[in-house]
A and B are shown apart, each in its own frame.
Chain A
Amino acid sequence: GQQLNQSPQSMFIQEGEDVSMNCTSSSIFNTWLWYKQDPGEGPVLLIALYKAGELTSNGRLTAQFGITRKDSFLNISASIPSDVGIYFCAGQLRTYSGGGADGLTFGKGTHLIIQP
Chain B
Amino acid sequence: DGGITQSPKYLFRKEGQNVTLSCEQNLNHDAMYWYRQDPGQGLRLIYYSQIVNDFQKGDIAEGYSVSREKKESFPLTVTSAQKNPTAFYLCASSMYSSGPYNEQFFGPGTRLTVL
Contact = CB atoms under 8 A, between A and B. Distances in A.
Contacts of B17: none
B100 A88 contact: no
A59 interface: no
B53 interface: no
Contacts of A63: none
A108 B49 contact: no
A30 B90 CA distance: 23
Interface in A94-116: 94, 96, 98-104, 106-109
A50 B101 contact: yes
A58 to B, nearest CB: 13
A94 B102 contact: yes
A78 interface: no
Interface residues of A, number: 31
Given A31-B102, A40-B109, A101 B45 contact: no
A103 B48 CA distance: 7
A61 B1 CA distance: 26
B104 A99 contact: no
A74 to B, nearest CB: 15
A92 B6 CA distance: 24
A44 interface: yes
Interface residues of B, number: 37
Interface of A is mostly: loop
B42 A103 contact: no
Interface in A41-80: 41-45, 48, 50
Given A92-B102, A101-B98, A101-B102, 15 more contacts: A4-B42, A31-B100, A33-B103, A41-B108, A42-B6, A45-B105, A50-B101, A88-B42, A90-B104, A99-B99, A100-B50, A100-B97, A101-B94, A101-B97, A108-B41
Interface of B: 4, 6, 30-31, 33, 35, 40-45, 48-50, 56, 58-59, 88, 90, 92, 94, 96-109, 111
